[in-house]
Structure 1
Amino acid sequence: MAAAPEMRASDGDRDRVAAALREHVAEGRLTIDEFNERLEQVYQSRTYGELATLTSDLPAIDLHRLPAAVEPAPGSRPARKEEKARNLKSAWSAWAGVSAMTWLFWLLAFIGSGHFVYPWPLWVMGPWGIILLINTISGSGGQSQRRDT
């Protein structure tokens, strides 16, 4: 039996209309301001007729058959090997920059004090460098080893 416009709508009916409006925003048919106005009216609506007027200028959407997510174009995302190589290069560059800076501070302290200063930059470079070396050798490039299925 088709619902008459004067029949009272349930919370579930209002939620379905709100979901359809969200889908129309995602499709670009409604602006955020229009969506917010209509959403406010959805939850103030009491009848099927009031709900129908909120979507009367929009095409029907079957919420059970939403379009599949669009796969990115093959050339839009860099290859994994290139991405890993770029990540490793960035990590090693950061390590080298921080190491150079800490050695510069150490050198200034050594010259300024006039006597031997413990080479503390080794404690900055060492652990970080070892982790980077392990990642470089293992080929993980700082990425998790999660496999997409």
Structure 2
Amino acid sequence: MIKTTRILFLNGVNLNMLGIRETDKYGYITISSIIADITELYLPAGIEIEYFQTNSEYLLTDYVHQTYRYIDYMVINPAGHTHTSIAIRDSLLAVNMSFIELHISNIAAREAFRHRSYFSDIATDVLVGFGFKAYYLVIKTIYRSFII
């Protein structure tokens, strides 16, 4: 019997606009299509994907508090909150759970204000600059490191 592993993808501000916003940088793929694809790919391996996206800092913080007890692993793309949210950082520290920080673009190669992340120093791992492939790579990272 395959043990079910629950992975929560938390996605921050404006990620609901993927496929529409800055298509020259992000393309036409939507976040919901990526999540649907990885759910279909990894469910047979016993990995359940939960997904939450909000543009609200406080809702993201509340969601961390509400879900940490039944989630095995968290992946967060804080998006614009990366450089501003001590509140989300503190919520992750409060639940004392390992998580991976993920970014579609390479935040270190963008504007100077994007170079500072409030999450990287407390994350188990950080994936940046792999585009949408990061969502697939992070599952493989978790699967290899924590399930096998």
TM-score of the alignment, normalized to the shorter chain, above 0.5: no
Bigger strand fraction: 2
Please give the range of the TM-score, normalised by the shorter of the 2 chains: under 0.3
TM-score, normalising length: structure 1: 0.21
Please identify the structure whose Cα radius of gyration is greater.
1
Bigger helix fraction: 1
TM-score, normalising length: structure 2: 0.21
